[in-house]
């Protein structure tokens, strides 16, 4: 069955390039699975700088790329890695960089550049516990708001959060497809647990993997304007070396891509950068719900915490609570409408996450006082005790 | 009627580098007598002489007065972020190896905030032509001290004169591994054009420093007169010393400026070294990135 976001886009996908697809059943950790997902998605340029717990992704890619026709380069830092993949993407080659908290912070300026130039790229953040160097080898989920707002100014992004190695593979492919569909940086918000956990990963044959190729314009260089968008709000793209002689800049620009230092140009451009995600959010958003109908309490979670929360939910059910779950597969854009809808019928949301309250703020905002939002914070370095989540559910259900 | 208007038809008056410039973006933002425009003119002339397929030439800039060059060249051109022109260009080159990529930016951009990228791009012998306009200052932001400001020269953040030792850029480039290194001033239009033409056809990390003191801020802060006075100064104080020992190329305040081509040698570029290495290690199993890039085709 074709994924909802692909169906909704109306774009006809193509089969994956078999060279990048290691079809079969494997026993892989989430990092390796993410690397395989990237190669299956057609990624052929990766720039990165080593950082635990993400390094295995580039190690996997570095080893396999020479057989696949891709180039991996270890850059001098994450500023360079991010800039390199933005540049690389303008050649039509699919690009990715991979990091964890400290490197993610360094990437922010050029993530903004990617958003401003409308460059499709995938950035993987295997989250560890911060702030600063924090607990380098141990889990965290503290970069969720940074993913949304980390670069200065307003722009839209897409962020995904896998809960297993299989999803690390599947969602990495989706990340590349979404980047092409919306011309935005797509952030794969993994976490150390999922990155380092080893499970069965099924990689389908290439002809069963659906890929959105670079959507190059068919207009001639004479008629084409790099930043003119139709109702989809996403302009058609070109690539360097094809004779379009285009210009692109991080400055506010007009449809030609030329710097335009006016309030009006800013309004038109930034409005569209925000709207192209906001107005298409219903096509992008993906949640997984279980037993939310008739529930008193809904547990909202993502990544590794959704697996731990499941235990807490089952414990609470055994003690008679009517509790449902909503898992964020796509974290940004946030499923505002669905949370609003649920807030009218449930008593409370319980939001466990390995931070002191990030996505729970979104839940609270959308619930707008109609239902209570209880965060279950964790400072990082480990996962929640399911008993604690169970207690929060029972408390909220009362 | 003014003599200018009598010059003839518009065609006859078209500037020779019009084919390389986005005329729809004129007038440019640079101050009168600023040297950056001259360097761009020489680059345009060199492109014409080089007979390169301009569809395959890309220009990348960072941020600054010099960084605006990318916005004026009529080729695929990228105005990136402050300091990151080199890694951006690295991605562009590796994403589509057949591209001929020029990085055009300022001293603050390439050597101050971007210094780490500079030393590594040179070390890797990344296939990039780097044109650095050294105006001794941060021009765009109003004349602050740069890592190239000569000792004792005034800047807006060192109003009593700079006490930090500046970089000797050709020496820095050579030590880091650049395979083609030259320096001219913005007065040396003929030599600069020849160097650009030659360098466009070379491989590897090619570094050309063009001295063009900011005629608005640096000249005013240091009481150096007008743009014309700066030119007169170059004329009286340069020396061409090809193959000079780069250790001797320091620039002191209002000192003699040693120009020329200092280094021109061959060493495998990043891509050449990588391909040779993998071919050696993997034989026929090695699948190199195609020259036209790794784009997945097939939708149409
Ligand atoms: C990250 C960041 N820091 C600071 C700035 C402000 N800034 C813009 S241009 C510039 C200096 C440019 O100096 P240089 O590269 O020498 O270019 P010039 O204007 O002298 O040609 C600075 C500091 C910026 N744009 N981005
Ligand atoms: S401020 Fe200086 S460097 Fe910038 S355009 Fe004017 S003269 Fe040139
Ligand atoms: Mg400068």
Structural element, H or E, at residue A352? strand A348-353
Cβ <8 Å between A91 and B92: yes
For residue A125, which phi and psi values (nearest 5 degrees)?
-120, 110
Domain contains A257: no
Does any CB of chain B come closer than 8 Å to the CB of residue A153?
no
Q: Which residue has tokens 């059943």?
A: A25
Domain boundary among A180, A211, A242: A211
Nearest to A241, CA basis, from A223, A267, A216, A269: A216
Does any CB of chain A come closer than 8 Å to the CB of residue B103?
no
Domain contains A271: no
Q: Quick one: A207 and A302 in the same domain?
A: no
Please list every residue in chain B whose beta carbon sits closer than 8 Å to the beta carbon of residue A67.
Answer: 282, 285-287
Domain contains A358: yes
Domain contains A110: yes
Give the residue whose CA is nearest to atom 9 of ligand 1.
B64
Domain boundary among A193, A211, A229: A211
Q: Which residue has tokens 């790229």?
A: A121
Q: Quick one: A296 and A206 in the same domain?
A: no
Q: Quick one: A190 and A293 in the same domain?
A: no
Per-residue DSSP letters for A11-55?
Answer: ---EE--GGG---EEEEEEHHHHHHHHHHHTTEEEEEE---TTTH
Per-residue DSSP letters for A146-184?
Answer: HHHH-SSS----EEE--SSHHHHHHHHHHHHHHHHHHTS
Q: Quick one: A156 and A65 in the same domain?
A: yes
Query: Is B221 a pocket residue for ligand 2 (Cβ < 6 Å)?
Result: no
Ordered by start, the domain boundaries in chain B are: 20-282
Q: Quick one: A81 and A184 in the same domain?
A: yes
Cβ <8 Å between B87 and A259: no
Domain contains A226: no
In tens digits, chain A (398 residues) has pLDDT values of 689 999 999 999 999 999 999 999 999 999 999 999 999 999 999 999 999 999 999 999 999 999 999 999 999 999 999 999 999 999 999 999 999 999 999 999 999 999 999 999 999 999 999 999 999 999 999 999 999 999 999 999 999 999 999 999 999 999 999 999 999 999 999 999 999 999 999 999 999 999 999 999 999 999 999 999 999 999 999 999 999 999 999 999 999 999 999 999 999 999 999 999 999 999 999 999 999 999 999 999 999 999 999 999 999 999 999 999 999 999 999 999 999 999 999 999 999 999 999 999 999 999 999 999 999 999 999 999 999 999 999 999 99
Q: Quick one: A202 and A293 in the same domain?
A: no
Q: Record the pTM.
A: 0.97
For residues A390 and A316, what is the distance between their CA atoms, to the nearest angstrom?
Answer: 5
Structural element, H or E, at residue A266? helix A263-278
| CATH code where residue A131 lies | 3.40.50.970
Domain contains A234: no
- CATH 3.40.50.970 corresponds to the domain B20-282: yes
Please list every residue in chain B whose beta carbon sits closer than 8 Å to the beta carbon of residue A214.
Answer: 295-296
Q: Would you say A252 and A266 are in contact if contact means Cβ atoms under 8 Å apart?
A: yes
| Interchain CB contacts (distance < 8 Å): A and B | 191
Our count of domains for chain A comes to 2
Compute the residue count for chain B. Answer: 300
| CATH code where residue A314 lies | 3.40.50.920
How many other CB atoms are found less than 10 A from the CB of residue B96? 28
Residue A311: give the domain boundaries.
Answer: 287-397
Structural element, H or E, at residue A299? strand A297-301
Domain boundary among A159, A177, A211: A211
As beta bridge partners, residue A47 has A73
Cβ <8 Å between B70 and A246: no
């Amino acid at each position: 069955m074709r994924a909802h976001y692909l169906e909704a886009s109306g774009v006809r996908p193509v089969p994956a390039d078999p060279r990048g697809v290691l079809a079969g059943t494997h026993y892989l950790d989430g990092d390796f699975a993410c690397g395989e997902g990237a190669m299956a998605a057609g990624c052929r340029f990766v720039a990165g700088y080593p950082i635990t717990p993400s390094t295995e992704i580039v190690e996997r890619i570095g080893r396999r790329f020479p057989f696949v026709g891709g180039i991996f380069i270890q850059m001098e830092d994450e500023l360079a890695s991010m800039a390199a993949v933005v540049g690389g993407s303008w050649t039509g080659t699919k690009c990715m960089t991979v990091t964890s908290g400290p490197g993610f912070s360094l990437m922010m300026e050029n993530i903004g550049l990617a958003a401003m130039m409308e460059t499709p790229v995938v950035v993987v953040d295997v989250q560890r516990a911060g702030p600063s160097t924090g607990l380098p080898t141990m889990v965290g989920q503290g970069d969720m708001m940074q993913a949304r707002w980390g670069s200065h100014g307003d722009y839209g992004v897409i962020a995904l959060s896998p809960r297993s190695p299989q999803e690390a593979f599947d969602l990495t492919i989706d990340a590349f497809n979404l980047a092409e569909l919306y011309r935005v940086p797509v952030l794969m918000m993994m976490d150390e647990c999922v990155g380092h956990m080893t499970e069965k990963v099924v990689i389908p044959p290439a002809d069963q993997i659906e890929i959105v190729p670079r959507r190059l314009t068919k207009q001639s260089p004479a008629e084409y304007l790099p930043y003119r968008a139709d109702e989809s709000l996403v302009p058609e793209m070109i690539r360097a070396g094809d004779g379009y002689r285009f210009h692109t800049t991080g400055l506010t620009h007009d449809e030609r891509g030329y710097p335009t230092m006016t309030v009006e140009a800013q309004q038109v451009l930034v409005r569209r950068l925000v709207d192209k995600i906001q107005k298409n959010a219903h096509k992008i958003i993906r949640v997984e719900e279980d037993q939310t109908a008739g529930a008193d309490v809904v547990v909202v979670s993502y990544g590794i915490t959704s697996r731990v929360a499941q235990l807490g939910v089952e414990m609470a059910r055994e003690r008679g609570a009517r509790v449902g779950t909503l898992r964020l597969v796509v974290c940004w854009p946030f499923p505002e409408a669905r949370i609003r809808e649920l807030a009218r019928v449930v008593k409370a949301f319980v939001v466990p996450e390995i931070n002191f309250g990030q996505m729970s703020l979104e839940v609270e905002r959308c619930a707008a006082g109609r239902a209570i939002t209880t965060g279950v914070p964790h400072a990082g370095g480990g996962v929640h005790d399911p008993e604690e989540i169970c207690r929060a559910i029972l408390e909220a259900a009362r | 009627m003014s003599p200018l208007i009598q010059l003839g038809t518009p065609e006859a008056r078209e500037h020779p580098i019009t084919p390389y410039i986005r005329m729809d973006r004129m007038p440019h933002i640079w101050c009168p007598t600023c040297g950056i425009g001259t360097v761009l003119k020489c680059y345009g002339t060199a492109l014409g002489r080089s007979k390169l397929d301009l569809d395959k030439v890309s220009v990348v800039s960072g941020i600054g007065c010099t960084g605006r060059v990318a916005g004026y060249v009529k080729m695929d051109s990228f105005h990136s972020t402050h300091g990151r022109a080199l890694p951006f260009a690295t991605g562009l080159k590796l994403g589509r190896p057949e591209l001929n990529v020029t990085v055009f930016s300022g001293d603050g951009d390439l050597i101050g905030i971007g210094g780490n990228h500079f030393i590594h791009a040179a070390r890797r012998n990344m296939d990039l032509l780097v044109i650095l306009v050294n105006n001794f200052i941060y021009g765009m932001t109003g004349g602050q001290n740069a890592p190239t400001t000569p000792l004792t020269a005034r800047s807006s953040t060192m109003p009593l004169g700079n006490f930090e030792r500046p970089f000797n850029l050709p020496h820095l480039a050579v030590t880091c591994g650049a395979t083609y290194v030259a320096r001219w001033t913005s007065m040396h239009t003929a030599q600069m054009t020849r160097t650009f033409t030659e360098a466009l056809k070379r491989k590897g990390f090619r570094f050309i420093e063009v001295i063009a003191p900011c005629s608005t801020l640096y000249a005013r802060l240091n009481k150096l007169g007008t743009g014309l006075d700066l030119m007169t100064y170059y004329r009286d104080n340069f020396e061409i010393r090809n193959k000079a020992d780069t250790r001797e190329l320091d620039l002191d305040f209002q000192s003699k400026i040693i120009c020329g081509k200092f280094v021109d040698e061959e060493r495998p570029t990043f891509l050449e070294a990588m391909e040779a290495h993998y071919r050696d290690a993997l034989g026929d199993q090695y699948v190199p990135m195609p020259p036209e890039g790794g784009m997945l085709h097939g939708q149409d």
